[in-house]
């Protein structure tokens, strides 16, 4: 749920998912324009590619937009370009040897009693994506500059939390077709516990760790209030017995640093008792600890087998700490960080579910917790993938390195030369210019040939008051070389489209 960077943030990201937000972060340096040859992705000739894009663009201008075989009416909110639509059918999570699919299955195995979903459509309503989760009407995530809209009431989900209410309410609303999409619907037949893995879409910056399509994992776990009361009584009895030496203790799988306090700054909901919140928080944090330790232990084992680290030098303990956070759909809320290879890494967002969501789902007698995180962020770390674009590569040198159920370190293949091109322009008068407009335009024109786009200069003319921007576009293919002349063709098309679509004046 929090699968979103929270959205919420995710983006900025951190793709908090949970929170639905997930997190993707990182920077990549730009190389000099000295090299004459530049690397470019293997694809159709530029002329053919341009013709195809022009044909697809005409569809956007028509009255309907086709997404996964369904036609949707368009309107002034429609801003989903062909390049993004083309990603909706790639289904990376269904390719058994893909790193993201491998990680998804490893996480599914850590939650065997949860229903597992990985085939839900990315097209959702604004109600599902925002309203049902308590997002304010003026939340920036609702903006066309951040979100890909099919039309005003329909969009490509920005986080997996968009399915929370849908899945929780499936039984009460008789949506058995939804329940049947669970890979193991016998595990939690009423969706009282479930995991959702899916692709999510956000307009975003361009660099080695950001991509307009990424993947999140959402987890929701609910309990009947009667069940919680029984467990609290059992825990009280066990604690009393422990003082007389009658109880046995299980080893904790993670070193936990937890100084968080449920209070004014991170409040519990009035619908919950202090005992209920304490139970949910403890249950949630232990589940998160167990999952992270299991996955990171496999990552360390992979490093040992590849000779990257020796057994004596490998990490055996994984300290975890919890940071107070805010999400519209949970309270109290936290972000989880784990110490891995000397760095504190933000793993996920989580918290006690807003009771309004469960009430809407026809489950007023249940309470629960939820978590969410971005799969790419963790997969890049575990598999040693340095560039997020690689996850979308069909190059056998990449896809051939992985196998189902196994975490192993990616062996980089020869990096092709990069090529940097600058573009400077004056903003139009009364401009509504947003940086994500540039990012989308460059991606739509150059595809995965673009490695990064970075603002390198910005100023306002002292006399005219006109604003100026200069962006450096770094072109670099992951799988083949192209000449500087070929890159010039792409760059010229980028410049032309900036004038036509954004109304800027080139300098």
Higher pLDDT among residues 166 and 25, named by residue: 166
Q: What is the mean pLDDT of residues 404-416?
A: 84
The per-residue pLDDT for 258 is: 67
Place of tokens 């994500």: 436
What backbone phi and psi angles, to 5 degrees, belong to 391? -60, -20
pLDDT, greater one: 41 or 164: 164
Tokens of 286: 């232990």
**Full-model pTM:** 0.79
* More confidently predicted of 335 and 416: 335
pLDDT band at 306 (very low <50, low <70, confident <90, very high): low
pLDDT tens-digit map of 2-48: 544 343 333 334 334 444 333 333 333 323 233 333 333 333 333 33
**pLDDT at site 48:** 36
Mean pLDDT over 72-79 rounds to: 96
Instruction: Please give the pLDDT value at position 207.
Output: 84
pLDDT digits 0-9 by tens, 272-289 = 999 999 999 999 999 998
Residue 253: DSSP 8-state? S
How many residues are present in the chain?
507
Return the pLDDT at 342. Answer: 83
Contact by Cβ (8 Å): 240, 303: no
Q: Please tell me the distance from the alpha carbon of residue 165 to that of residue 175, in angstroms, as a whole number.
A: 12
pLDDT at 262: 85
Phi/psi of residue 141, nearest 5 degrees: -65, -20
Q: Is 244 a residue whose pLDDT tops 90?
A: no
- Among 35-39, 176-180, 204-208, the range with the most confident prediction by mean pLDDT is 176-180
What are 109-143's pLDDT values in tens digits?
Answer: 999 999 999 999 999 999 999 999 999 999 999 99
Is 333 exposed, middle or buried, given 0-12, 13-18 or 19+ CB atoms closer than 10 A? buried
Rounded to whole angstroms, the Cα distance separating 481 from 476 reads 8
pLDDT at position 60: 47
Tokens of residue 210, six digits: 């950001």
State the pLDDT at residue 200: 97
What rounded mean pLDDT belongs to the chain? 83
3-class state of residue 399 by DSSP? helix
Strands 481-483 and 366-374: unpaired
The helix/strand/coil state of 109 is: helix
Please report the pLDDT score of residue 437 as a whole number: 92
pLDDT of residue 430: 74
């Amino acid at each position: 749920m929090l699968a979103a960077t929270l959205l919420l943030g995710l983006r900025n990201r951190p793709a908090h998912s949970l929170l639905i937000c997930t997190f993707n972060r990182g920077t990549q340096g730009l190389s000099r324009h000295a090299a004459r040859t530049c690397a470019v992705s293997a694809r159709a000739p530029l002329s053919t590619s341009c013709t195809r894009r022009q044909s697809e663009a005409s569809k956007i201008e028509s009255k309907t937009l086709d997404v996964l075989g369904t036609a949707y009416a368009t309107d002034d909110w429609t801003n989903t370009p062909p390049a993004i639509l083309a990603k909706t059918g790639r289904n990376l999570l269904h390719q058994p040897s893909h790193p993201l699919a491998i990680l998804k299955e490893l996480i599914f195995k850590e939650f065997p009693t949860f229903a597992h979903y990985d085939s839900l459509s990315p097209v959702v309503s604004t109600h599902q994506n925002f309203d049902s989760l308590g997002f304010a009407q003026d939340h920036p995530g609702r903006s066309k500059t951040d979100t890909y809209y099919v039309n005003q009431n329909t969009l490509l989900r920005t986080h997996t939390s968009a399915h929370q209410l849908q899945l929780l309410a499936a039984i009460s609303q008789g949506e058995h077709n939804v329940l049947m999409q669970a890979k193991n619907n016998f595990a939690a037949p009423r969706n009282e516990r479930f995991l959702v893995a899916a692709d999510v879409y956000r307009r975003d910056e361009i660099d080695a760790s950001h991509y307009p399509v990424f993947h999140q994992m959402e987890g929701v776990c609910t309990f009947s209030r009667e069940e919680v009361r029984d467990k609290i009584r059992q825990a009280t009895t066990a604690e009393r017995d422990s003082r007389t030496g009658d109880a046995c203790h299980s080893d904790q799988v993670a070193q936990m640093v937890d100084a968080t306090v449920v209070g004014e700054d991170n409040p519990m909901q009035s619908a919950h008792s202090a005992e209920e919140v304490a139970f949910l928080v403890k249950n949630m944090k232990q589940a998160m600890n167990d999952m992270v330790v299991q996955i990171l232990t496999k990552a360390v084992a992979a490093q040992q087998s590849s000779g990257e680290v020796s057994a004596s030098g490998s990490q055996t303990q994984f300290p975890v700490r919890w940071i107070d956070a805010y999400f519209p759909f949970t309270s109290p809320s936290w972000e989880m960080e784990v110490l891995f290879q000397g760095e504190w890494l933000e793993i996920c967002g989580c918290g006690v579910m807003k009771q309004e969501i469960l009430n809407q789902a026809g489950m007023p007698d249940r309470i629960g917790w939820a978590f969410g995180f971005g799969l790419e962020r963790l997969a890049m770390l575990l598999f040693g993938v340095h560039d997020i674009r690689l996850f979308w590569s069909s190059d056998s040198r990449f896809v051939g390195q992985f196998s189902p159920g196994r975490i192993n370190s990616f062996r980089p293949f020869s990096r092709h030369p990069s090529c940097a091109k600058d573009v400077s322009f004056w903003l139009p008068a009364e401009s509504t210019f947003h940086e994500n407009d540039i990012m989308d335009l460059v991606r739509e024109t150059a595809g995965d040939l673009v490695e990064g786009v970075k603002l390198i200069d910005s100023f306002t003319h002292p006399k005219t008051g006109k604003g100026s921007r200069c962006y450096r576009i770094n072109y670099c293919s992951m799988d083949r070389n192209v000449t500087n002349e070929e890159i010039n063709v792409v760059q010229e098309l980028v410049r032309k489209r900036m004038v036509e679509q954004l109304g800027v004046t080139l300098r």
